[in-house]
Structure 1
């Protein structure tokens, strides 16, 4: 019997408003002492009334539109009842039957053996609610400390349809969702800081051989297991992989799927899920309309937020591929972050202008980029992603505080493109620019990093010296060891203080060695 997983996700996104969802307390409590950003409203004191944060609603509507949701013109808040120490009122203000947005979808690109497959995952709803406080348990398990700074933080809860077909798809879906939230500016969506939290729902069912995918996907679902305590993209994938194996084993041993909905917690250290409790249903929460808040009319907000929608990451990725000639892998990295994508746009605009200004290059902008753009795009992505990105990661430098402007980085790329600087010295120049910023051409002259002028006599002297001083490598090359040539090129670069053109050095070495 062949089984297949049925996966859906519930994602909580912390919105980065200035104040909390229903009171005027700062929404920056994570940077303050415990219980410093609280008031009678967010701690549930008697006799106080909540007030809706309009900015949070705007963000929720914008996120719903980005997820292709239908915006409910009439929406309202509801009380969701449950008892827990982090919920001082004994209920959470959430939304039940009239969420801000519903019936949307998100398309993602899933790698397969055959190439890239586009998967469409339905979005059941996006609703607004307040976050709970934060519990911290003592090491000896004898006490629990409660910090109410987080209580009342605006949340957008996004619920997917059970359309996800693998742990890999679940991870990609979550990563794409994070990109969208960042592009919209509604959340930093950092999982490590709890700004993006995910619960995964999974069940198994029998795969019907020969059924069309849509037909098979419509088969009755079995009771699901909800997995909590997932705090990274990798953990989402690992937790689902473990749960697939566990539920498959249960089915094979008992001859039937799970019969009761349950909640399990993910233990990232042990790599297992453990049972926590039987899963609640909506009736357990005793929802009813929030009497202290008026219903919301969202038509005006919806229409205004439609005009605020930016180009979203997936669309930008495909535009980068079509317009600039980047590979999908490079375009994925360059558009992963809105600031990185904007940096690239500005740098490439400079590079296009530079190409157009060259007297020896003729044609329209499109023709010129068609002829020279692929080389320029490869050069840019290689230096930006691998070299600059590596140095930034090593030194924990965010692109928003990078001292190299997009215009200066574009000029740096032109120096490499025209062979005015060799690879090793280009890396030195890049490190200088990261440290101090500034004009790359000026730094090139100040630190004498420019490539050697085409002086054949000078290169001949260097080549002869290297050959005479490294006879073992010369013998190795003549014996058929091609790697020896790389050693000799390295010695030429060393003798020239990094100024020689490696390609020229290779050609001259081979010419002399094969005489």
Structure 2
């Protein structure tokens, strides 16, 4: 018998609206003083009436559509009753039996996993307001900042379809990307925009993968997961902890809640887990039901291209490798830059007098080469320079048009790699045109055989020992001599011509 992990996630995504879910207060900003973005509504004062934030409803529906959910034609809000210092009304306005979205799914790629692609079911997605933030002081006192209270959230509940901690982490990363592509949230876990609880249990399976005994066993909800690393580590720990319990014939008998202690790298029991009945849900009497059919039809036409679709298209249209497509599409602005670069690049190639072909044939013949060039120069070389300068694609001075022109110079061998790096650095300095930089700094490829012959003769004369060893059979020294010529030309010599000239000269001596 084997133990199979059964994992589900409950995820809260903070929506990027200007005002709170049910009042006109500005949404939470950590830079402002505590308890300044508050009003009688979000403080739960008697006699106040909540007003639904229409933008939050639109954002929640967009997320539901992106998760392939069914959007409810009719929805409503409910009161979730519990007492805690961060909840001034003693209830949270949430959704219970009529959430805005149900029955969705997301497919994730799991490189190196037991299953390369995993379909994760989405049970539901519903809107609610965030709680305030507690600050536990030294001793017995607790301070509460109500600035965050009332901020719009969408809670996403998955089916228990994850079979490893790695799958859960990948799903969360994909969900973050979807939220950013939709523009509904920054979804930054470290800033609390994306929060996650993991429900973990084990079940017995036989050697053929069949379930033995109960399909689902008592689960442990793991809280306090504020980074992707913590999610993965906490789930892995909980799987190991529960495996030991099963192996000692003492499996979990009731559902519990545990917190992740990152310092100790372990989960710690907090309390038994509440069920829906414990919250005494009932309809929110101060908010009328939501009629969503017409809005859902409108939003379906406005759904942007999502990350998975864009990755597949970049692989097909631009011949990017899967790993390069993922790296590019992980940043929507970088993906936009690549898209515009390829558009400009095609125009540059068609305009070249030496390419007397139709656009279609140029793209067909050059696609693989261009894909490698753009990915290599953008992700590796330009990416390294940006890191050195502590800037990114948002703040750099290189435009897609200039980068496309630069790639054209490389593709047509007017610039070699060494000179290309110099040009790229100069472009980063002031956003100059790459052709102008190449001409002004005399970095274009040197093909003049008279000039190259002088350099070859000079290198052979300056390195008699290496020449003698080459002639004695150490063929690898040819590359050393080519390098010396390239250095003498400051990287502008055509290495192919240099190689042929060296072979001729060394043979004739």
Q: Is 1:244 aligned with 2:247? A: no
- Corresponding residue for 1:103? 103
Which one of the candidate residues 374, 386, 393 is aligned to 1:392? 386
Query: What SS does the aligned partner of 1:275 have?
Result: strand
Structure 1 Cα separation of the partners of residues 46 and 280 of structure 2: 21
Equivalent residue in structure 2 for 1:304, among 294, 298, 305: 298
Q: Structure 2 regions of 5+ residues with no counterpart?
A: none
**Residue in 1 aligned with 2:130?**
131
Note closer, same or farther for the CA distance 1:179–1:477 as it changes in structure 2 (3 Å cut): farther
Match of 2:403 in 1: 409
2:255 is the alignment partner of 1:257: no
User: Is the alpha carbon distance of 1:196 and 1:488 closer, same or farther for their aligned partners in structure 2, counting shifts above 3 Å?
Assistant: farther
The residue aligned with 1:146 is 144
What does 1:66-85 correspond to in 2, within 5 Å? Answer: 66-85=66-85
- Cα pair distance change 1:45/1:327, threshold 3 Å: same
Q: 1:502 to 1:4 in 2, by over 3 A?
A: farther
For residues 75-110 of structure 1, the C-alpha deviation after alignment (integer angstroms, 9 at most, x for no partner) is 111111222222222111111111110100011112
Cα distance in 2 for partners of 1:174, 1:482 equals 53
Question: In 2, distance between residues paired with 1:475 and 1:188?
Answer: 63
What are the residue-to-residue correspondences of 1:108-257 with 2, within 5 Å? 108-112=108-112, 117-138=116-137, 140-211=138-209, 216=211, 220-253=215-248, 255-257=249-251
Q: Given the alignment of the two structures, is residue 469 of structure 1 paired with residue 489 of structure 2, yes or no?
A: no
Question: Which segment drifts farther, 427-436 or 442-451?
Answer: 442-451
How is 1:338-353 mapped onto 2 (pairs within 5 angstroms)?
Answer: 338-353=332-347
Q: Kindly report which structure 2 residues correspond to 1:490-509, keeping only aligned pairs within 5 A, or say none.
A: 490-509=483-502
Relative to 1, partners in 2 of residues 1:218 and 1:173: Cα closer, same or farther, differing over 3 Å? farther
Cα distance in 2 between the residues matched to 1:75 and 1:396: 47
What is the aligned residue count?
Answer: 508
**Residue-by-residue CA offset, 1:446-493 (whole Å, 9 max, x unaligned):** 3333222x1223223323333443456556766777775555444333
Q: What SS does the aligned partner of 1:413 have?
A: helix
C-alpha change, 1:422 and 1:297, in structure 2 (3 Å) is: same
Tell me, yes or no, if structure 1 residue 327 matches structure 2 residue 321.
yes
Partner of 1:13: 13
Query: Which of 424, 427, 433 pairs up with 1:430?
Result: 424
Point out where structure 1 has 5 or more consecutive residues left out of the alignment.
none
Q: 1:384: Cα distance to partner?
A: 0.8
Contact 1:29 1:36 in 2 (8 A): no
Root-mean-square deviation (Å):
2.4
Residues 179, 313 of structure 1: 8 Å contact kept: yes
Q: Which moved more, 1:220-229 or 1:23-32?
A: 23-32
Is 1:272 matched with 2:247?
no
Residue by residue over 1:41-83, the C-alpha shift from the partner in whole angstroms, topping out at 9 and shown as x without a partner, is 1122222111100000001011101111111111111111222
Deviation at 1:511, TM superposition (A): 5.4
Change (3 A) 1:332 1:510: farther
TM-score (norm 2): 0.93
1:488 & 1:136 partners in 2: Cα distance?
67
TM value normalised by structure 1: 0.92
